[in-house]
Amino acid sequence: MERREFFKSCSFACLSGVALSHFLTQCTHSKYLTAKIIDSEIFIEKKEFLSNKQKIRSIIIENELLNFPIALLKIQENEYRAIYLTCSHQGAELQIFDDKLICPAHGAEFTNEGKVVSGPTDQPLRIFSVKTLNDQIIISLK
């Protein structure tokens, strides 16, 4: 390969990498957030679902007191669902893919309502009670 062709190929590869990384960051649908637990409740501001260029579909909530994160899903305007991200089969941490939750350990699939789509489990996921008050989303851990 001649020097000119080499630099041309390298430049194209670099520009493609930059464009691809920009595209992938625009596809983000989840946001990670560390939240405080106050009297067995987690308070999240509704504005956390807003972003400059992205439509946030879920917020992954972490706290040192939780063994696993909680996914806070925006279902509709003013309707939210909180799901404990642990598989009901053997307790592996679930991953979110659009409207599905998938266990990487054994392939169990769940809906965003916590219902089992495919096993090896037949137990639904733990869903937390969610209510809204003004600009706050409140997740009850009881």
| pLDDT attached to residue 40 | 93
Pairwise pLDDT comparison (13 vs 119), residue with the higher score: 119
- What is the rounded average pLDDT for all residues in the chain? 80
| pLDDT attached to residue 81 | 93
Helices (H) and strands (E) in the chain, counts: 1, 12
| pLDDT attached to residue 136 | 92
**Are residues 39 and 47 in contact, defined by beta-carbon separation less than 8 angstroms?**
no
Is pLDDT of 119 > 70? yes
Is pLDDT of 92 > 90? no
pLDDT in tens, 18-76: 443 334 433 446 788 888 999 999 999 988 887 666 677 888 999 999 899 999 998 88
Which residues, other chains included, contact 7 with Cβ-Cβ below 8 Å and sequence gap of 6+? none
Q: Classify 94 as helix, strand or coil.
A: coil
> What is d(CA 84, CA 66) in angstroms, rounded to the nearest whole number?
9
Q: Write down the CATH superfamily of domain 29-140.
A: Rieske [2Fe-2S] iron-sulphur domain (2.102.10.10)
**Are residues 117 and 109 in contact, defined by beta-carbon separation less than 8 angstroms?**
yes
Placement of tokens 């000119």 in the chain:
4
Pairwise pLDDT comparison (139 vs 31), residue with the higher score: 139
In the chain, what percentage of residues exceed pLDDT 90? 35
Is pLDDT of 7 > 90? no
